[in-house]
Structure 1
């Protein structure tokens, strides 16, 4: 190694010949070999325990831990399940009242209500011109007064004659004649009064009135229109404002319904649900579509518009049974079954009878008591007697 240097402000230069490089390379090689030895020792100790368990399981002739599947199991218990029947239909007034002309008719002078108005029993919906009928009524009222005057005169003549009978100035025949005259006058009064009452009743029928309290649904008349008994329906009313859904249901569903069961109705295009109950089940079935009508009574609400479309959920009944998810129920040529676990955590094939399928799951009508540990998933990959590792979960 040569050294050249300049001291005290002079240049200093050192030259190295590279004799240290092999020593550094040998040191890194030894470090790498030591790391490999340490990693091998760690792997040996980690593998030692599992190999011992594997050899122990193999010596007993059973499956190893890594070969036993883990499955999700649950004790389902028993739940109360409602039998739900769904259907669709049209909204309508429960009792619709068509209103027309009851009297002679004439020209409509005023219309007093609009669709959506609430009216009372006997309330006037529209008036009809009665100028001619009013004159007739006045004439008959005058006739009543004339007849009443004649009756009073006849009664007075009879009274005077009866006072003179005792003195012999009036004969018995005169008394009979005057009595008859009095009776005829009284009868003419009653006839005139009956004619006046008839005319008054006819005049009252000129007004178009509500037969009962309710909600006006439609109006088909305007002022100035000439109406008569042949004019048809002028107003339509919903008695008491009560509505209903006429749900179309299959014949088999109608057999399970009874009057009074609750129902929920949702009009098309609305998220609001209305509660009601079935008040009538159709006694006949349409031979064309094999359907019948269940009429669901509803309270009035502006969202319930007659003629609209709606769907219904009817609670036809309830039962207590085991409910399982569809993934737990298997099926083959022998029928429906599930896998349960015995005390040794071995899969046991259990035949079951299924009921209704709903959003909550499949109802098991027989085969399970609800206390068994039922395999919820992976049942399709098990065999009877196969040992499993249970992962117990609670059903929601």
Structure 2
């Protein structure tokens, strides 16, 4: 039996001593592997505990709530200000052209930027031919007056001889008719002389109203006539206006007499004006209307230029919030407030005028709520938060 067993083992070339040594080594390493796994698991458990609960005891659930900054806005008077832009123009622009028959310009007395008085001569036109016509009619007037004086004298002498029978009544009638005809001819010649003189006066281009010369379009030597167009443009009394473009809603909130501040583009001047006319129509394409703001003359006002306007249209009592507190979605504007249970609650609001202080809230708040100032976009309705009241700055 022993020989058969040994021969079977040796036939398979198995080293019995080697097999027994390997099993013993594997059995000796097994506790070490188990111990290493246990240590790694313990380390991971500690890390997980510290990650989620920190060191020490597990914190209460409310300490995990996010901290949010809140403010109690209160209410205050909010001045409604409408910002607008528009084009500067003369409030009453007066075009000046040739009134008479025209001719060659001999002298121009004013230029753009000058001031003129009513009736002041702005330019004159050559009148050499017209002066000869005046002289001719003046001579005809003198001749007709002489004829009238002679006819009157003849009539007077004849009237003295009627009673003595030297002159018949028929002669008196003839002399009277001659006198009346000469008188009529004198009146005709006088009318013609007056017309000639009036035409000469029209050769002077005069200012119909006092004001500021905006434009000059005539030069000495130029031939002008009634068809020559506009030679001068005047701003009556130098008054200007801003034609401010306003939306339909803004136009409904302004009125004639409202004070405004106007700042011409390119300057830092702040000019004061008043709305004097509001357009009765709205442009169907732009959906805007015009509010005309009257302005006194100032060198910074140049018709055709642009200017901005700040129009004050009353005041209202409302809460004012910074833009960071406002959120918007498909339902409109809203804010998050923190209720008595420190939960975030959505509150829909209607915004009003925007100023340097913030956005006024027309409706939705009464001013006593705790409003979340920032990070409202990361909150969900009903979420528990830790409110931190923002301290008001000095003078706020």
Q: TM-score per shorter chain, which class?
A: 0.7 to 0.9
Counterpart in the other structure of 1:363: 360
Within 2, Cα distance between the matches of 1:170 and 1:224?
64
Counterpart in the other structure of 1:95: 92
Counterpart in the other structure of 1:220: 217
Shift of 1:338: 4.3
Query: Which of 172, 179, 182 pairs up with 1:182?
Result: 179
The correspondence of residues 1-396 of structure 1 with structure 2, limited to 5 A, is 69=67, 71-87=69-85, 89-330=86-327, 336-338=333-335, 346=342, 349=345, 351-359=347-355, 360-372=357-369, 374-377=371-374, 383=382, 388=387, 390-393=389-392, 396=396
CA offset digits 1:94-133 (Å, max 9, x no partner): 2222222221211111111111010111211111111111
Shift of 1:140: 0.8
Q: Secondary structure at the match of 1:283?
A: coil
Within 1, Cα distance between the matches of 2:330 and 2:137?
93
Shift of 1:375: 4.7
Within 1, Cα distance between the matches of 2:108 and 2:65?
88
Shift of 1:218: 1.7
With normalisation by structure 1, the TM-score equals 0.73
Task: Tell me if the contact between 1:76 and 1:324 (Cα under 8 Å) persists in the aligned partners.
Answer: no
- Number of residue pairs the alignment of both structures matches: 337
Task: Tell me if the contact between 2:353 and 2:359 (Cα under 8 Å) persists in the aligned partners.
Answer: yes
Q: Secondary structure at the match of 2:266?
A: coil
CA RMSD of aligned residues (A): 3.2
Unaligned runs of 5+ in 2: 1-55
Task: Tell me if the contact between 1:74 and 1:393 (Cα under 8 Å) persists in the aligned partners.
Answer: no
Task: Tell me if the contact between 2:333 and 2:351 (Cα under 8 Å) persists in the aligned partners.
Answer: no
Within 2, Cα distance between the matches of 1:242 and 1:129?
33
Q: Secondary structure at the match of 2:351?
A: strand
Q: Secondary structure at the match of 1:142?
A: helix
Within 2, Cα distance between the matches of 1:385 and 1:317?
41
Unaligned runs of 5+ in 1: 1-53
Within 2, Cα distance between the matches of 1:252 and 1:337?
22
Shift of 1:353: 2.5
* CA separation of 1:306 and 1:214: change in aligned 2, threshold 3 A: same
* CA separation of 1:347 and 1:357: change in aligned 2, threshold 3 A: farther
